[in-house]
Amino acid sequence: MRIVKLVMLLLMASVGMAVAQQKKKALVTAKISTPTVQCESCKNRIERYMAREEGVQSTKVDFKKHITTVKYWDDRTNIENVKTAIANAGYDADNVTANKESYDKLPKCCKKPEDGGGMEKKKN
């Protein structure tokens, strides 16, 4: 009888620990300023890049408002890693500047206007 009680106690303790660990997971939503995002191409590039990042659930880029909304699991990544990933794709993210090599590889339309990029104006 004592063995049965001991087994039940150990089983309940292990289930309790598993439940406690599951509660630590949280889906966090962050809005990140991405001022260098200018077009649909930029949007697609960031969303594809972020899909490969560990812990990122979803990414939505609003290139007109220059805001990127990222949902991520806080037990797998953090906001600094998310910003760094956007910077590694070649775009500024809040206080993190774009990776120079990645930025240099962007198409002309996705670069800053001061670097000769930006959307071309249509002539009448």
Say if 102 falls within a structural domain.
Answer: yes
25 versus 67: the higher-pLDDT residue is 67
Number of folded domains that form the chain: 1
- CATH number of the domain within which 59 lies: 3.30.70.100
Strands (E), 1-124: 27-33, 56-62, 67-73
Q: Answer yes or no: is pLDDT of 91 > 60.
A: yes
Q: Could you tell me if residue 4 is inside a domain?
A: no
Within-domain flag for 22: no
Query: Residue 122 above 50 pLDDT?
Result: no
Give the range of the structural domain holding residue 64, as residue numbers without chain letter. Answer: 27-107
Q: Is residue 68 part of a domain?
A: yes
Query: Could you read off the pLDDT of 2-59 as tens digits, one per residue?
Result: 776 666 666 776 766 666 565 568 999 999 999 999 999 999 999 999 999 999 999 9
Neighbours of 7 (CB within 10 A): 10
What pLDDT score does 17 carry? 65
Mean of the per-residue pLDDT values of the chain: 86
In a domain, 48, yes or no: yes
